[in-house]
Structure 1
Amino acid sequence: MTDRCRPVLSAAERATDAVELFSRASAGLRRLVPFHSAVWTAADPETGLITAPMLVENVGSGEGCAAYWESELLEENVVPFRELARACVPAAGLRAATGGLPARSARFRRLLLGQGVHDELRAVLRIGDRPWGMVSLFRTTDAFRPDEVVLLADLSRPLAARLRNFARPPDSLPREDSPAPGLILFNESGEAMSINDEARHHLALLPKGPSFPSPLGLKLPIWVIGTALQARAIADGRDHGNARVRIRNTGGRWLNCHASSLTGPGGRPGPVALVIEPATPADLAVLVAEAYGLTSRELQITQLVARGTTTAEIATTLTISPHTVRDHLKTIFNKACVSSRGELVARLFTEHYWPALPEPTQVQRPGRPRPSPNPRG
């Protein structure tokens, strides 16, 4: 990380939520890398799809925002976000990537050129291969310089780490009945044509952000539209990912939004069915574990701890030594900022976020003692 990054990161560290993080980072970055407009958005770390929140600065109509993401998912473009998520350098300027010929990008030809954009600099905010956010900066004059691309790339991981922290569950949520799944059907042209009352209920609780009119008489948020577009992209063979995104509603609860393209008579493309429903603990296991920086092995051990499994039994189940288990537990405690097994379970394995896990098949015993208060089990 260069010294030039420090003012941006210092401002971002004072943010109390993801929207404030985007706002502070954008203001600090604008002083170092001047730009005319910008879009900052969170991403689902497992699928790479956009999710709440999103910050849009000085961009035109809402319909233009929808068209931007439609182009991203359904058209051939230069440096799409899905490629930047895997690239050695997670940032790229459009003019530099096209050798000064940005019209090679459908996104530029169809959208950016008509809006007076001269160049776009985009980046994925990622940790390893997990994307936690995306940013697009737009200039109406001059191209982005190589050193400006490097600066934004250097900010990728530290901003992603801060954004990841905001995915952690709150300390507690009031218990409430779980609403039924909502369903929205989109026709072959991508228009929403049918919706049930449960979907309307879930949509009413989504955070504010770009949304667009539909024939149903209500506006659909960009995160829902993006998930439906991804389902169509998968059906068309343009992508092989999952049309699924987790969205946190205004009450702090996670929703799971997933879509699939149906098949009509004779194998013709049919409508896209989108389901939006309360996320199950299994839907959130990886997300919450990643939010605390747990590795897959650490997640396994934490799940076993939640069942009351002793250190010796964890070692037998995972075919590792008890000493290794204790080392993992110390690391887990440090990452979760707890000092005992009981605190770990209370912080991570609440009913709202985690599944009722089956007993490990390798260990059979008639009863379970209460969790040990320390890593030694």
Structure 2
Amino acid sequence: MTDPRRAVLSAAERAANAGELFGRASAALRRRVPFHSAVWTAADPETGLITAPMLVENLGSGDGCYAYWESELLEENVLPFRELARAAVPAAGLRAATGGLPARSARFRRLLLGQGVHDELRAVLRTGGRPWGLVSLFRTSEALRATDGSHSTDAPHATEAFRPDEIALLADLSGPLAARLREFARPPEAAPRTDAPAPGLILFDPSGEAMSVNDEARQHLALLPDGPSFPSPLGLKLPIWVIGTAFQARAVAEGRDHSGNARVRIRTTEGRWLVCHASCLTGPGGRPGPVALVVEPATPADLAVLVADAYGLTSRELQITQLVARGMTTAEIAATLFISPHTVRDHLKTVFTKARVSSRGELVARLFTDHYWPALPQAAPG
């Protein structure tokens, strides 16, 4: 019996980058699981927030994209990605999850119903317990298909929800697609070194409108990759990844998300990494104030975590790798971490396999190029 995943995974293997992976996987999956429109986006593996790249297919105006992520983070919804990321099965259909009553979800009532959506199938692409991507597939009404000319004989009927086998297929694809996405987060063989601007600052008023920005933020924003972006009163367009981080800060302040984490890493067009982190300030009388969003170059600590995530290293493996990069011998590493030399060697064998290298020199060159080195933090013993 043919593995229904094979065509999708084969398409993903041919992709040269994350954006191309989304396009190829979406086209291949549509033949197995018919859908009318879709959103594919990378996620920061540490926080699960959206980051570049993002592929939006057949969803009309950009305003819908803004409202979709605003609803995702700031309204009471069924199947929010933050919960799906921790679920035993990382994919679910909206109608199946609500017993055929999708209007239980604010996202459906306020946005999807008016766009003719009949059902939504969403998934978190995760591996090693980390989310690397988010997917939403939409089936719309027959009337809408007839209007926009996208009807085809193999499309599902308007009354057909995503079936259990279709949901299971996307769930089965979660791990392999996440592993492929993780590969694209790895550092390049050589990264150009440029002088980065100082931290940038953007202020959003309590309604979510950008109200102030400094020149450094403008410089950082100019280096972000193409993707959904939205005009602001400041005369510049703000990418959805930046806006989403501001939404998350409000969600944390309002008690909708208890992670306390509104930060995301975004890769620039130069191949470097920026970090956006935001917090909700307090106004007069304790009322909600503006959201302050800082965008700045990723710190060495950020990059060390990114290296570990991208190569699937455990915290201990990352510690040993950092000590190797400092020129320590096996005996010195063992003494520093209070473990045996044999354990160090076992860890190094695993690290070599994950990084696809065969020597310490290759390991340092692969993981700690100019993009990451020399300012990595000291590895704590124990």
Smaller-chain TM-score bracket:
over 0.9
1:1-377 alignment runs, 5 A limit: 3-140=3-140, 141=158, 142-241=160-259, 242-354=261-373, 356-357=375-376
Structure 2: segments with no counterpart, 5+ residues: 141-157
Structure 1: segments with no counterpart, 5+ residues: 363-377
C-alpha change, 1:221 and 1:357, in structure 2 (3 Å) is closer
What SS is found at the alignment partner of 1:172? coil
Q: Structure 2: which amino acid aligns with 1:256?
A: V
The separation in 1 between residues aligned to 2:363 and 2:299, in whole angstroms, is 20
The separation in 2 between residues aligned to 1:203 and 1:165, in whole angstroms, is 25
Pairs aligned (count): 363
The separation in 2 between residues aligned to 1:9 and 1:43, in whole angstroms, is 19
Q: Is the 8 A contact 2:187 2:371 kept in 1?
A: no
Deviation at 1:274, TM superposition (A): 0.4
Range with bigger deviation, 65-74 or 301-310: 301-310
Q: Structure 2: which amino acid aligns with 1:61?
A: S
Deviation at 1:143, TM superposition (A): 0.7
C-alpha change, 1:359 and 1:58, in structure 2 (3 Å) is closer
Partner deviation per Cα, 1:164-222 (whole Å, 9 max, x = no partner) = 00000101122211211111000000000000111111111111111111111111110
Partner deviation per Cα, 1:91-118 (whole Å, 9 max, x = no partner) = 0000000000000000000000000000
Runs of 4+ aligned structure 1 residues displaced above 3 Å come to: 357-362
The separation in 2 between residues aligned to 1:351 and 1:269, in whole angstroms, is 42
The separation in 1 between residues aligned to 2:167 and 2:317, in whole angstroms, is 35
Q: RMSD across aligned C-alpha pairs, in angstroms?
A: 1.6
What SS is found at the alignment partner of 1:4? coil
Q: Structure 2: which amino acid aligns with 1:211?
A: S
Deviation at 1:352, TM superposition (A): 2.7
Partner deviation per Cα, 1:293-352 (whole Å, 9 max, x = no partner) = 211111010011111111111112222111111111112112212222122112212343
What SS is found at the alignment partner of 2:292? strand
Deviation at 1:66, TM superposition (A): 0.6
Range with bigger deviation, 318-327 or 342-351: 342-351
Deviation at 1:81, TM superposition (A): 0.4
**TM-score, length basis structure 2:** 0.92
Q: Is the 8 A contact 2:91 2:122 kept in 1?
A: yes
Deviation at 1:354, TM superposition (A): 4.3
Deviation at 1:287, TM superposition (A): 1.7
